[in-house]
Structure 1
Amino acid sequence: ILDEFGEKMSLRVDLNRPDVGLGVEVRNDEAFVYSDVIDGAGGMPLGTQPRVVGLLSGGIDSAVACWMVMKRGCPVAPVYFDNTPFTDE
């Protein structure tokens, strides 16, 4: 990168006190150069585990459970069900 752009843009490299940190990721025939890293939700990449069905009842606990399973890499097929005929509420 420095060989290609360094002389044209008057760039220098200072490994002790850099002004900007750059990252380079090479995949197949392409290179991606970046200066910022944005943290995601954490966990495993979505789709690395089998698909699951998440039962959503309208409460916060079922939505949180689906979110936690998604962080483990499982794609979630959400299914809403109304359980009021079977509960006291």
Structure 2
Amino acid sequence: MAKTPSPCIDVCTFKRGGHCIGCSMTKAQKSLFKSLKKETHRQGFVQMLVAQQAQLGSYSHWAPQYLRKCARKKVTPIAAITGPA
């Protein structure tokens, strides 16, 4: 089974109070995601990030980009991105 890919969508411009305008991660969160080895932790991180994006607002561009990334890597995205099955 392939690992959940990083939520990064290769924008990497840290404005918005230290949050990336592409994915909403901070530099510390980017480092943290790279250290996560367990799949459940990686999926939980992405769920947290979706909630963070909802709170910050203006991240509707992220989900379609991340879904394409998951498709390229042949990984089923978490339900928080795709909605209920």
Larger Rg: 1
Higher strand share: 1
TM-score class, shorter: under 0.3
Alignment TM-score, normalising by the size of structure 1: 0.25
Alignment TM-score, normalising by the size of structure 2: 0.25
The one of the two structures with greater contact order (alpha-carbon pairs below 8 A, sep at least 6) is: 2
